Structures are given as C-alpha cells and as structure tokens.
Amino acid sequence: MRILITAGNTQVLIDKVRCITNIFTGRTGTRLALHARTRGHAVALLTSHPEVVAELHGTPLPSAEGWAVQPYRTFADLQEQMEAALRHGSWDAVIHCAAVSDYRVAGIFAPAPGTRFDAETGRWEAAGAEPALVDREASKVKSDEPELWLRLARTPKLIDRVRSDWCFSGVLVKFKLEVDLDDSQLLQTAERSRVQSAADLMVADTLEGMAAWAYLGPLAGRYERVARPDLPAHLIDAVEQRHKEYTHG
C-alpha cells in the first residue's frame, strides 16, 4: 500500500515571532509511519517534528523509494501539503494523526483609550462613548499595551476535506482526543466524529489515559481497547484489512 500519515502539531501565527500551538510532538504518527514501513508499505510522513524519526528509529532514515518525510510548521503549511498530496498522488490510505489547530488568529486588538473590560460582568465599558478596540496587528506586536485581545476564527477541519474536497476514496483513519470523558462518552463522541468525517477507522483516547491505551474501531462492529505500545501493529492490521475489502470486494 501507499500510505500518507500526518503527525505533530500545527502553529497559527500571531505575528512573525509568536504563535499558538499545542503540546503534541508527533510521536504516535511517527511510530505508525515507521511500523508501516517495516511491513513493506510505501509511506509519506507529514510532520511538524521530523527529528522524532531519528529519535524513535535510533538513526536518521534517508529519503528513499517508499519513504519520505516532509516537514511542516503552520496550519496553512499542512493544509497545502495535504491538498497537494491528495490531489496529485495515488494513496491507498490516509492516517490523519496530526493535532490540528481548531482556530486561527484573525486579529490583534487593544482597548481604545477609555475602554475597559470588566472581568466580573464579562462586559466592555467606556466612559461617555461606545467601547472600542484598536487594531494592533504588526510583524512583531509591541509589548507596551496593558493588555491585548486576540480574535480567533474557526479553521476548516482538514479531515473533513479529505473525502469531500480532495476526493480521496481509500482507507481513511481519524484520531480523536478528549478530556474528562468516561469510556462510554468517549466512544459515543468518537463514533459520531468518525461518521461525520466519513472515516473508515477511528483511534480515540483521553488526555489522561493516552500514554497507556487507545480505542480502535469499529472492528467487527465494535471498538477495541488497545495498549498504546501495540497500537501501530493493530492499526496497520486494520488498515490492511480494510484495504483488502475495498480492492477485492
């Protein structure tokens, strides 16, 4: 098979030197890529942390036929690379493991003179005038304001574009991380999310338990709880099986 895997985190830029991101470093996706390669599959890994390949493998893996690592940094980078790969490549499976930003910075503002935000009431106030904000967007935002406000706007769900916009028809794997959910709530949320994205398989876990286990499914109509070290083998098994079903009816 030819497998495209995304891993790591995305940055959304505040200015040219600051960003918003998350804590994930791409180890799960990189482990999946390395395991798939040992099984003889051709793998392209899009990752924000290409150095993790050498960290997990022990030595750097040179680019070769059937193996490629393509770094990205920002949400826009990953979106562009995924679109190019899916529009112009021939992939049998996409494993979308990257922790993608849900919001982008759509403005940087400071309260105008006389305007203040009352944290207790959650309201803006201004003496004798309408409350107002002043645009402070710059290549490097100045640090002389008492406070700054970021306007955040939703980013598109890249996993939802894989089928609808980029016309991918192979095996699609989605990852879902939640916080403070019990197993029943996690599985209900995961299955709704899988269906929404038209994904074949879902890997679901919680922040509290992610180092120890993950749920994988649906396999024979249900989700299986898999020990984290065993996830690469179980997931690639499931992808191979689903690919056989697609290609052999």
pLDDT score of 186 more than 90: yes
pLDDT tens per residue, range 140-154: 999 999 999 999 999
Domain 2-102+155-248 grouped into CATH 3.40.50.10300:
yes
pLDDT score of 128 more than 90: no
Packed helices 231-248 and 27-38: angle between N→C axes, nearest 10 degrees: 60
Minimal CA–CA distance to 215: which of 246, 169, 184, 249? 184
Structure tokens at 93: 């499976």
pLDDT score of 247 more than 80: yes
Structure tokens at 72: 């990205």
Q: What percent of the chain has pLDDT over 90?
A: 92
User: pLDDT at position 70, please?
Assistant: 96
Domain layout of the chain by residue ranges: 2-102+155-248, 104-153
Residues 31 and 55: beta-carbon distance below 8 Å: no
Pairing state between β 42-47 and 2-7: parallel
pLDDT tens per residue, range 157-173: 999 999 999 999 999 99
pLDDT tens per residue, range 47-88: 999 999 999 998 767 677 899 999 999 999 999 999 999 999
Phi and psi angles of residue 100, each rounded to the nearest 5 degrees, phi first:
-90, 140
Q: What percent of the chain has pLDDT over 70?
A: 99
User: pLDDT at position 249, please?
Assistant: 62
Residues 225 and 190: beta-carbon distance below 8 Å: no
| Mean pLDDT of the chain, nearest integer | 95
The angle formed by the CA atoms of residues 62, 75 and 97, to the nearest 5 degrees, is 60
pLDDT score of 175 more than 90: yes
HEC profile of 165-210: CCCCCCEEEEEEEECCCCHHHHHHHHHHHHHHCCCCEEEEEECCCC
pTM over 0.75: yes
User: pLDDT at position 58, please?
Assistant: 83
